[in-house]
Amino acid sequence: MISSRTFLIIGLVLALLIGGCAVFLASTDPDGLESTALVSQGDKTITGDAPPDAAIHEDRPDTFTYESPLQDYSLGGALGKPGEVIAVIAGILAVFLIMIGVSRLAKRPADKK
């Protein structure tokens, strides 16, 4: 049987490898949330492609907009694919650290009075 620490390290390494490789296989088409936003603002039909100039990231009146720290899994587009890999790795590490913190809080025994 392997230890919990070894299991976590193997899981983290696998997540980083899969996430890093997924950047090169990802589609440039809008994801589900972006596609829904484009449909709701009338820039796309459910069965058709979005026009090339349609984007939910533009600030236009009466349209849906949102902000994201790592929008489209990139660091502002300046670094290209390496920036996307860095953004994915940062996201995986952030989730990993949050889950470690939550698990330690949940594991902490209740104070006995």
Question: Whole-angstrom Cα distance, residue 15 to residue 101?
Answer: 18
Q: Where are the alpha helices (DSSP H) in the chain?
A: 4-25, 32-40, 81-107
Give residues with Cβ within 8 angstroms of 83, minimum separation 6: 74, 75, 76, 77
For CA atoms 49, 24, 82, 6, the dihedral sign is positive
Segments making up each domain of the chain, as ranges: 4-85
Percentage of residues in the chain with pLDDT exceeding 70? 67
Q: Please determine, for residue 53, whether its predicted confidence score (pLDDT) is greater than 60.
A: no
66, 41 in Cβ contact below 8 A? no
Question: Whole-angstrom Cα distance, residue 103 to residue 73?
Answer: 27
Note the pTM of the prediction, 2 decimals: 0.60
Answer with the residue of higher pLDDT: 42 or 101: 101
pLDDT digits (tens, 9 = 90+) for 62-87: 655 666 666 666 666 567 788 888 88
